[in-house]
Structure 1
Amino acid sequence: MHLLSHTAPLLNGVLAADPVTPAAGTAQLIIAAVISIALIIVLIVWVKMHPFFALMLGAAVMAVTADMGFAKAFTSFSAGLGSTVGGVGVLIVLGAVIGRFLTESGGADEIVDTILSKTPAAKLAWAMALAAFIVGIPLFFEVGVVLLIPIVMLVAKRAKLPVILIGIPALAGLSALHGLVPPHPGPLIAIDALKADLGITLGLGLLVAIPTVIIAGPVLAKSMARWVPVMAPDTLIVSSGENKDGKRPAFGVALSVVLLPVVLMLLMTVVDTLKIGDTVIGQILVFIGTPLQALLITSLYAMVVLGTALGRSMKEVSQITGDAFGPIASILLIVGAGGGFKQTLVDSGVGAVIGNGIAGSGMPLLLAGWLVAVVIRLATGSATVATITAAGIMAPLVGDLSSTHVALMVLAVGAGSVFLSHVNDAGFWLVKEYFGLTVGQTFKTWSLMECAVSVVGLVGVLLLGLVV
């Protein structure tokens, strides 16, 4: 039983992997792709246009330049946007709700504080990496940064340690989870695009993420702290979530909300391993382990244990839920537009052309998937766009791979998507401002850490590829 077949109705059409007939010659298609990607970069980086419109215009230029015709300039874009938002968008919404209840109730703070309270000063960097790894499972990268950085600053100030020594491990934990582990949007999109097995990808993603966080986080942070010995500022205001009575949920309760969706999704792998998919129990486990159902169950669970159980009324719970929707509107639009641009690339045939070129080059497929994602990441500054586009390009090449190697392709693409964050990435400026760094210092720390996450992640994927 192929487990993704159970998720296909929910994540349908994020990528059309069926062969397409190129609308133009190879040279024209490649030129069209280069022009459209260059236009997107110019519009985002120099014109400062919102990525949604930049991606939309880039898709139109791609369609017209590739001889798809003016009448179909936005046909593929609209189809890709609709299928991406319709599939992954719902999961993003549910993930945002879970994250909101964790932050508003103080549950996320409770997890972090509990870990830190049991950690000696010499191990604080490792504790922050662990805290970020746990908290980062259900939270979007930006939410995790906003949550953890004020705590990082406070911990660094109290321990009188360079803020980089404490902060880089936390950022490494968040970044690795963002690129490698579902239910984050990038991995989920790549899983559907490449028709990978969700449970296998989740399990292998965690295996790759653990050493990646260790090396790119606490290990590398020691050297970075010497290069950039910036101390935490004197004035700090750290806001902490709590309920109206000033109480936080217990550590175990908060942790259960974080781990519940992961456990539910891993149940599908158990069903496949035990070959009980045709039994009633197997069907139930597959149903609740599908991403949509798993996150929906966790969202409802969070409303109870982090909401009403702490004394909040249903009106207040509804308000918190509503507050989670606003901040992700832009994310949904950008992710959807990335899917639209990707679908235009796929429908033009350029993905098949590039894919065939890579296949003919003799380059190992896992390395090729990583490299394609790296190029798109450097060009656009978006890990999600890099994941979507690279997955679209590599999809025609994975048909003959085993389920484990298709899952590893998802991870290779995810690792490549976080390579070298620089000035065209919002995360670069977010970290720079939070830490009070110069542009040069941000390159020496944050950008280098992202490179380490990407390269170590790739090495982990290639090593797993030798044994699974």
Structure 2
Amino acid sequence: MTRLSVEMLAADAPPPITSAGHAQLGIAVLVGIAVIVLLITKFKLHAFLALTIGSLTLGAVAGAPLDKAITSFTTGLGSTVAGVGVLIALGAILGKLLADSGGADEIVDTILAKAGGRAMPWAMVLIASVIGLPLFFEVGIVLLIPVVLMVAKRGNYSLMRIGIPALAGLSVMHGLIPPHPGPLVAIDAVKANLGVTLALGILVAVPTVIIAGPLFSKVAARWVDVPAPDRMLPQRASEELERRPGFGATLATVLLPVVLMLAKALVDIVIDDATNTTQRVFDVVGSPLIALLAAVIVGFFTLGRPAGFTKDRLQQTVEKGLMPIAGILLIVGAGGGFKQTLIDSGVGQMILDISKEWSIPAVLLAWLIAVAIRLATGSATVATVSAAGLVAPLAADMSTTHAALLVLAVGAGSLFFSHVNDAGFWLVKEYFGLSVGQTVKTWSVMETIISVVAGGLVLLLSLII
């Protein structure tokens, strides 16, 4: 985008809801984020409420009329939920269908049957990456824990040698690859191209997950050499089923939305003609909504029917898949409201001005902001939605590629050093039977490696493409 077009956009944009200068806006941002951090960490308030109160606090400190601050927040919340809410819901349904039908178990068992010895950590990272595509991080952990414990006990492996690759695969998918909520809301805030972001995300994710997973697991196993905890293994979904879906059909269903979205991005690059019939068809079938909806409908037949699901059972699976995402939708929506309050208050333009004065690369600035919020709040999702709102104006004059890299920089920063204020930290600690110190030396270091390696690769790509 040319400088002239950026100036024209700025002229068309509505005026800020406050006339505060940079100093007051800077204080407002710090106070708003401090309120969010304090409410989440000290008072254990739900992130949705914390983001709502923090947004109104930011508007008040910036000198905005309360009615306009409320309007900004509700507008941002509504547009964000409208943009990504349906996608999150469809992803949740697909993930639940994959788990309940035994399709996830089929992928796990098939890959493990073909792997052994030194290949086992690589098999675990492959399993976690494939299964992690449609699943939320917490669901993925619960689904894979029985597999990790079983493999570690059966093969007499160090728990870290098997567990770290699985955790790395899940975490990288969660931070960098749509249709996870974090990347989706960042794409929506920055107005990035989903297909390009997905393609570049996979490019960054592959080396990142190799370094943080199988390679780091060798070091982690020496630092924390613990066996799988001696406990009852949780029951796997397929143990209650008489039969389950085939490996090929399950894998095809999971990868269908990714293939459709990547195909759309490829066609857009090759044809680049909005009037071309082929491109218009792929614009429809490769849109996130249609791609995920197609995967869910196909999954009814490729996952549900082979597992013997009746219509009532399918309906129950859909309902159970939707129930846990209410909190995630509210957090993402409130994050969108916070983003809109930042933009309407003029904070986005302030960030744009400051970044020009500092001459700091936009992707590095985005990564640093996400890191700071992640360390303070402990939530990767809160870090992503907040940082994306702050840096969104930087994408106004960026190419499609660099806007996608900005999204990935935010996602990478949101994973930095998970510690005691992160629910994921305690989930890993309890499931693996580790002490706090052992969890820091394994899980926390792994998350930091993912963040730094992915952030470095994004910065490198921004310099060469």
Is TM (by shorter chain) over 0.5? yes
Letter in 2 for 1:464: L
Matched, 1:367 2:364: yes
Distance 2:128 2:390 in 1: 32
**Is contact 1:93–1:325 with CA below 8 Å preserved after alignment?**
yes
Aligned residue for 2:440, secondary structure, equals: helix
Match of 2:330 in 1: 333
Matched, 1:344 2:341: yes
Aligned residue for 1:384, secondary structure, equals: helix
**Is contact 2:348–2:391 with CA below 8 Å preserved after alignment?**
yes
Letter in 1 for 2:63: D
State the shift of 1:257 in Å: 1.2
Which residue among 435, 438, 444 is the counterpart of 2:435? 438
Match of 2:6 in 1: none
Which residue among 304, 307, 318 is the counterpart of 2:304? 307
Match of 1:116 in 2: 112
Match of 1:269 in 2: 265
State the shift of 1:454 in Å: 0.6
Matched, 1:152 2:148: yes
Match of 2:245 in 1: 249
Match of 2:377 in 1: 380
Match of 1:354 in 2: 351
Which residue among 290, 294, 301 is the counterpart of 1:293? 290
Match of 1:95 in 2: 91
Letter in 2 for 1:430: L
**Is contact 1:17–1:193 with CA below 8 Å preserved after alignment?**
no
Letter in 1 for 2:311: M
Distance 2:13 2:90 in 1: 27
Distance 1:86 1:401 in 2: 25
Distance 1:207 1:426 in 2: 28
Distance 1:107 1:28 in 2: 54
Which residue among 205, 215, 230 is the counterpart of 2:226? 230
Letter in 2 for 1:349: G
Distance 1:18 1:254 in 2: 48
String of CA shifts for 1:61-84, please: whole Å, max 9, x gaps.
111111112333422221111111
- Structure 1 residue runs of 5 or longer lacking an equivalent are 1-15
Which residue among 120, 123, 130 is the counterpart of 2:126? 130
1:159-174 → structure 2 map (5 Å cutoff)? 159-174=155-170
Distance 1:395 1:190 in 2: 9
Distance 1:346 1:382 in 2: 22
Distance 1:25 1:120 in 2: 62
- Structure 2 residue runs of 5 or longer lacking an equivalent are 1-11
Letter in 2 for 1:378: L
**Is contact 2:115–2:123 with CA below 8 Å preserved after alignment?**
yes
Match of 1:6 in 2: none
Match of 2:205 in 1: 209
String of CA shifts for 1:169-217, please: whole Å, max 9, x gaps.
1111111111111111211222222222222111111010000000011
Distance 1:445 1:19 in 2: 48
Distance 2:13 2:421 in 1: 30
Match of 1:181 in 2: 177
Match of 2:444 in 1: 447
Cα distance 1:100–1:228, how it changes in 2: closer, same or farther (>3 A)? Answer: same
**Is contact 1:154–1:238 with CA below 8 Å preserved after alignment?**
no
Which stretch shows the higher mean deviation, 70-79 or 430-439?
Answer: 70-79
Aligned residue for 1:87, secondary structure, equals: helix
Distance 1:17 1:162 in 2: 57
**Is contact 1:178–1:186 with CA below 8 Å preserved after alignment?**
yes
**Is contact 1:17–1:395 with CA below 8 Å preserved after alignment?**
no
TM (normalized to structure 1)?
A: 0.93
Distance 1:317 1:33 in 2: 46
Distance 2:201 2:39 in 1: 34
**Is contact 1:44–1:50 with CA below 8 Å preserved after alignment?**
yes
State the shift of 1:311 in Å: 2.4
Which stretch shows the higher mean deviation, 237-246 or 158-167?
Answer: 237-246
State the shift of 1:464 in Å: 2.0
Which residue among 68, 72, 76 is the counterpart of 1:76? 72
Distance 1:290 1:243 in 2: 36
Distance 1:379 1:257 in 2: 38
Matched, 1:221 2:217: yes
Distance 1:23 1:378 in 2: 31
**Is contact 1:264–1:289 with CA below 8 Å preserved after alignment?**
yes
Aligned residue for 1:423, secondary structure, equals: coil
Which stretch shows the higher mean deviation, 62-71 or 272-281?
Answer: 272-281
Distance 2:346 2:26 in 1: 10
1:44-83 → structure 2 map (5 Å cutoff)? 44-83=40-79
